[in-house]
Amino acid sequence: MKQLLTFIMAASCTLCAAAESKRPNIVFIFSDDHAYQAISAYGDARKLIKTPNLDRLAREGMRFDRCLIPNSICGPSRATVMTGKYSHSNRFFNNSNSRFDGSQTTMPKLLQAAGYQTGIVGKWHLVTDPTGFDYWEILPGQGVYYNPPMIRNGERVKQDGYTTDIITDLSIEWLKKRDQSKPFLLMCHNKAPHREWEPNLKHLGHDGDRKYAEPETLFDDYAGRGKAEREQDMTIEKTMNDKDNKLVAPGQLTPEQLKVWNAYYEPRNEAFRKANPQGKDLVRWKYNRYMHDYLGCIKSVDENAGRLLKFLDDAGLADNTIVVYSSDQGFYLGEHGWFDKRWIFEESLRSPLMVRWPCVTKPGSVNKDLVSNLDFAETFLDAAGAAVPAEMQGRSLVPVLKGQTPADWRKSFYYHYYEFPGPHSVARHYGVVTDRYKLVRFYEPAMNYWELFDLQKDPREMRSVFGQADYADAQKQLEAELARLRSELKVPDPDPEETIIKRGTGKAGKTGKAGGKKKAK
C-alpha cells in the first residue's frame, strides 16, 4: 500500500510539472440568471436541488462565496467579462439601448494575440457581432429554449432540440475540431435558466410535484425600506404572467414536442383552474410552479456541465484546463416575494463562482474574499501568461486561486445599476459593499434617498439603519469609501445621457444584426 501511494504521488507530481510547463486551456461555462441558492454546493437551507456535476467543480477546485457583480443585468455583466471594466468604462449600461463596441480591447482578442484559439457558443446578448473569436455560434437576442435559430460566424442557421443540450453539443464539436497545436479558450454560454424558465421536456416531471420550502421573506411588505423597494415590478404575486406560469405553451414547439408539453402541464393547469386559489394561496401556487420550471432548467445546466467535464477527462485535457463556472448575476427565488435581479441586494448582487485548476488550486477550498466578474478577464490573461492592460479595472484571481490572497486585496466593492425607467421598474442606484455593510443611494429625482444595511445583524436586508445614531461612525466611513471608489473608478457625475433609457418611453435603441431586437427582461 505504501509503495502504491508513493507511486500515485510521484505520478501526480509528474502530471503537475507537465501541466505547469504548458499554458492552460480555459473552459468558461457561463449561465444566465443562475442563483447560487440553486447549486447544492452552496448549501441553501431549502435544499432546492442537487447539482452533482457543478458540485464536482467545487469539490475539485475552489468555491467563491462573495463573487459580486458590478451591474446586475445580463448584457452589462457580459460586457464586463469581455473587458474587465465597469459599465461606465465599456459603455454598455443596460439591456434596452446599449450596443457593445467590439473595436475596444477585450480579453478574447488579447488571448488570440497570445496564440490562443478562441470560441464562444450560446448566449451573447451584446447586440453587435462578436469580435476576438475564431469561431462563434450565438443565439440572436435572448434566444429561445426549443429549436433555436442561431448565428454561426455571421450566417443564420437553425438547430433542432433543447438549447442547453445544443450549446454543449456545439461546444464539444468545436473542441474536437480545434487546432490541437494551440491552447484554447472556450466560452460555453447557456441561455438557461433565464425567464421564462422552460425545462427540457424530459425533465418535466423531475420533482414529482414537490411542494418547495418557502423563503422566509416570500410575503415581504418592504417595511423598513424605501420607495424603490415598494414600487418595483418584479413580484411573483403581481408580475408573473400566464407564459411564466406555463398556462400558455411556447410557440417554438413542434407538434410532437407540444404533445409532451401538454401531457405534463395541462392536467395540472386544469386542477389549478378548478381550485382557483386566491391571495397567498395563489402566490404559493405560482412559487411552486416557478421552482419546478426554474430548477428543471438547472437540471439540464448541471447535466451538460457534466458532459463537458467528461469530454475533458476522456480527451486527456482535464489536467491542463482551467474550468470556470459562473452566472451573469444572481437571481431571486422568491426571496422578498421577487424573481429577477438588478438590485445591489444579496441575491441579485452575488453570483456563483467555482474554479477548478488542477495542480494550482487546492481541491475543496472555499474563498470569502470580495471577488467579481470584473476580475475574470484579468485572471484568464494572467493564467495564459499574457499582459493585463492597465485600463482594466479588476484584478487577477491567480494568486487567490493559489491560496495566496494579496494583502492589499479589495475590502470594498462599487455597484451601479442604470436601467430606469425600464422592465421591472428598479430605480437607478449605486453603492458600496463591504464584508459587513451596504450603503446605497437611490438617485432617481423622484426618490433620491439613502439606505444602509448591516449584513451581520440583518443578513436578509430587511431594515435600513441609515441615519441611526449608533451607525454614525460606520455610515461616515462608508460615505467616504463610496466617494473614494467613484473618484478612483472615474464614475461620471452626473450620469451621462446614454446611461438611461429615454425618459418616459422605455424604448430600446438601435439593434445589430447579431443580436436582433433585444428583450430587456
The three three-digit cell numbers of residue 226, written as one number:
424605501
State whether residue 184 is helix, strand or coil: strand
Helix (H) or strand (E) holding 188: strand 184-189
The closest of 450, 46, 461, 33 to 220, measured between CA atoms, is 461
Phi first, then psi: give them for residue 141, nearest 5 degrees: 55, -130
State whether residue 162 is helix, strand or coil: strand
What is the predicted pLDDT for the residue at 3?
59
Q: What is the CA radius of gyration of the chain?
A: 23
The shares of helix, strand and coil residues in the chain, as percent rounded to the nearest 5, are: 35, 15, 50
What is the predicted pLDDT for the residue at 235?
98
Question: Biggest alpha carbon distance in the chain?
Answer: 75
Helices 279-314 and 163-177 pack at an angle, to 10 degrees, of 20
Phi first, then psi: give them for residue 92, nearest 5 degrees: -115, 100
The domain total for the chain is 1
**Which pLDDT tens digits describe the chain residue by residue (521 residues)?**
555 444 444 445 455 655 556 999 999 999 999 999 999 999 999 999 999 999 999 999 999 999 999 999 999 999 999 999 999 999 999 999 999 999 999 999 999 999 999 999 999 999 999 999 999 999 999 999 999 999 999 999 999 999 999 999 999 999 999 999 999 999 999 999 999 999 999 999 999 999 999 999 999 999 999 999 999 999 999 999 999 999 999 999 999 999 999 999 999 999 999 999 999 999 999 999 999 999 999 999 999 999 999 999 999 999 999 999 999 999 999 999 999 999 999 999 999 999 999 999 999 999 999 999 999 999 999 999 999 999 999 999 999 999 999 999 999 999 999 999 999 999 999 999 999 999 999 999 999 999 999 999 999 999 999 999 999 999 999 999 999 999 999 999 765 443 444 443 333 333 333 443 333 34
What is the predicted pLDDT for the residue at 107?
98
Phi first, then psi: give them for residue 257, nearest 5 degrees: -65, -40
In one-letter notation, the amino acid at residue 56 is R
What is the predicted pLDDT for the residue at 508?
34
In a domain, 166, yes or no: no
CA angle 121, 92, 140 (to 5 degrees): 35
Question: Model-level pTM?
Answer: 0.93
The three three-digit cell numbers of residue 464, written as one number:
435600513
* Residue span of the structural domain in which 228 resides: 201-285
In one-letter notation, the amino acid at residue 253 is L
Which residues, other chains included, contact 73 with Cβ-Cβ below 8 Å and sequence gap of 6+? 94, 95, 329, 341, 342, 417, 419
Helices 279-314 and 52-60 pack at an angle, to 10 degrees, of 60
Distance between CA atoms of residues 86 and 92, nearest Å: 9
Distance between CA atoms of residues 41 and 54, nearest Å: 8
Q: Residue 507 CA to chain centroid, in angstroms?
A: 25
On whether the CB atoms of residues 262 and 249 are closer than 8 A, the answer is: yes
- How would DSSP label each residue in 92-123? ---TTT----TTS--HHHHHHHTT-EEEEEEE
What is the predicted pLDDT for the residue at 35?
98
Q: Residue 141 CA to chain centroid, in angstroms?
A: 16
Neighbouring C-beta atoms of residue 20, cutoff 10 Å: 12
On whether the CB atoms of residues 286 and 347 are closer than 8 A, the answer is: no
CA angle 102, 416, 397 (to 5 degrees): 70
In one-letter notation, the amino acid at residue 198 is E
The three three-digit cell numbers of residue 312, written as one number:
475533458
Distance between CA atoms of residues 115 and 381, nearest Å: 12
Distance between CA atoms of residues 364 and 358, nearest Å: 12
Whether the ω angle into residue 421 lies within 30 degrees of 0, i.e. cis, is yes
Which residues, other chains included, contact 15 with Cβ-Cβ below 8 Å and sequence gap of 6+? 319, 358, 359
On whether the CB atoms of residues 393 and 85 are closer than 8 A, the answer is: yes
What is the predicted pLDDT for the residue at 493?
79
In a domain, 4, yes or no: no
The closest of 41, 8, 73 to 422, measured between CA atoms, is 73
In a domain, 34, yes or no: no
On whether the CB atoms of residues 152 and 137 are closer than 8 A, the answer is: yes
In a domain, 114, yes or no: no
State whether residue 30 is helix, strand or coil: strand
What is the predicted pLDDT for the residue at 2?
52
State whether residue 18 is helix, strand or coil: helix
The counts of H helices and E strands in the chain are 13, 15
Q: Residue 116 CA to chain centroid, in angstroms?
A: 25
Which residues, other chains included, contact 209 with Cβ-Cβ below 8 Å and sequence gap of 6+? 268
The three three-digit cell numbers of residue 106, written as one number:
477585450
